[in-house]
Amino acid sequence: MERICLHDRSQIEKFLREHTFLNLYALGDLDKFFWDYTTWYALDRDKHIKQLVLLYAKSNLSVLLGLSAEVEELKELLRLLLPLLPKRFYAHFSGDAVNVLANDYQI
């Protein structure tokens, strides 16, 4: 699997709507008002999104949102994102996914 950056709102929305209630906030960030402040990263396998995280960077402290029913895939995506993440950010993750960041960040 590989890490990709997504720019297609409809592709992102399709994935998020697979678990609408889990992704309500992320769905809201597809709105034009928020869109320019978002970066969407995905875990891709054979051109299929397996996992998605949102980096929202409008304020001084970016927000990284990773909510998933598949925590192991979320962890894999976070490992792949480590070189790209800001020095400081607020994170909201499912399960124990935050542990992926423990060696590189003060949690």
**pLDDT tens by residue, 43-60:** 999 989 999 999 999 989
With a CB cutoff of 8 Å and minimum separation 6, the contacts of 1 are 43, 44, 45, 50, 76
Which domain does 62 fall in, by range? 2-101
Q: What is the pLDDT along the chain (107 residues), one digit of tens a residue?
A: 899 999 999 999 999 999 999 999 999 999 999 999 999 999 999 989 999 999 999 989 999 999 999 999 999 999 999 999 999 999 999 999 999 999 999 99
Token readout for 3 is: 């890490």
* Residue 61 domain-assigned (yes or no): yes
* Residue 82 domain-assigned (yes or no): yes
Report if pTM > 0.85. Answer: yes
Residues in a beta bridge with 89: 62
H or E element, residue 3? strand 2-6
Token readout for 29 is: 């960030």
* Structural domains counted in the chain: 1
Give Dmax (Cα) for the chain: 36
* Residue 23 domain-assigned (yes or no): yes
